[in-house]
Amino acid sequence: MEAEHHHQTSNAGGIIGGLYVKVMTDDQMELLRQQISVYATICQQLVEMHKAVTIQQDLAGLRLGNLYCDPLMACSGHKITARQRWTPTPLQLQVLERIFDEGNGTPSKQKIKDITIELGQHGQISETNVYNWFQNRRARSKRKQLTPALNVVEPEVETEVEVESPKEKKTRAEGFQVQPYEKSSPHRIKDMYIQSPDIEPLTGNIPIMMLK
């Protein structure tokens, strides 16, 4: 940062103790140390986030944070508005997706039971939930598959529904959006939750001191 004295000395190297070595001024060394420190800190925080996301998340109960929130209400002796609909925790979802991918495409009765028990470790869940999940997953997966052909504007298709008012006005660009439902393999994607508020200032502009 400072010590702008006059150490434009020998940044090259020299023989000390009979060995050729690079030398650094204290400033450089300090800068380096700081640099590493910064990275270490950032990495630690990010890793923290990652862990929090990957591992926990369910201890906080179902992730219905917005309605069934505060346990406070529960303490008031009032009836806790139970959740209406099950929602898999990120962790559960991860497991489910994995199982789904594994190809054991046929979730047998027993299989369902096992999965349910396993997922029960990460949050409230029932066999029905699991069953439905697979049911839906399969169905939707299939449908998306059948949506490869996207209209490419066929001029000859002129049905009578061409009712258009002259006052028609093309407000905005109605034509750019990624349409295709599912990429070939969405399994490459993982989902995680970040709850650490400390990473906010992360901008990607981590200054790095080039060594040499």
Partner DNA sequence: CCTGTATGAATGAAAG
Partner DNA sequence: CTTTCATTCATACAGG
Binding to DNA (CB under 7 A) within 101-120 occurs at 106, 108-109
- Closest to 24 in 3D by CA, of 5, 3, 7: 7
In the set 107, 125, 133, 134, which binds a copy of itself (CB under 8 A)?
A: 125
* Interaction of residue 79 with a copy of itself, rule CB under 8 A: yes
* Interaction of residue 58 with DNA, rule CB under 7 A: yes
* Interaction of residue 160 with DNA, rule CB under 7 A: yes
Give the contact letters, 117-146, x = binds to DNA (CB under 7 A), - = no: -----------xx--xxxxxxxxx-xx---
In the set 1, 2, 4, 20, which binds a copy of itself (CB under 8 A)?
A: 20
* Interaction of residue 77 with a copy of itself, rule CB under 8 A: no
Give dist(CA 35, CA 176) in Å, integer. 42
**CB-nearer residue toward a copy of itself: 1 or 161:** 161
In the set 4, 66, 108, 166, which binds a copy of itself (CB under 8 A)?
A: 66
* Interaction of residue 87 with a copy of itself, rule CB under 8 A: yes
CA 29 to chain centre: 37
Give dist(CA 57, CA 81) in Å, integer. 21
Total residue count of the chain as it appears in this document: 212
What residues contact residue 122 under an 8 Å CB cut-off, 6+ apart? 58, 89, 91, 92, 95
- Closest to 34 in 3D by CA, of 184, 212, 208: 208
Q: How many residues contact a copy of itself, by CB under 8 A?
A: 129
Rg (CA), the chain: 29
**CB-nearer residue toward DNA: 26 or 160:** 160
Q: How many residues contact DNA, by CB under 7 A?
A: 43
Give dist(CA 200, CA 127) in Å, integer. 39
**CB-nearer residue toward DNA: 6 or 142:** 142
CA 204 to chain centre: 17
Residue 164's binding partner out of a copy of itself, DNA, none, with CB under 5 to 8 Å set by partner kind: a copy of itself
Give dist(CA 171, CA 149) in Å, integer. 27
* Interaction of residue 136 with a copy of itself, rule CB under 8 A: no
* Interaction of residue 142 with a copy of itself, rule CB under 8 A: no
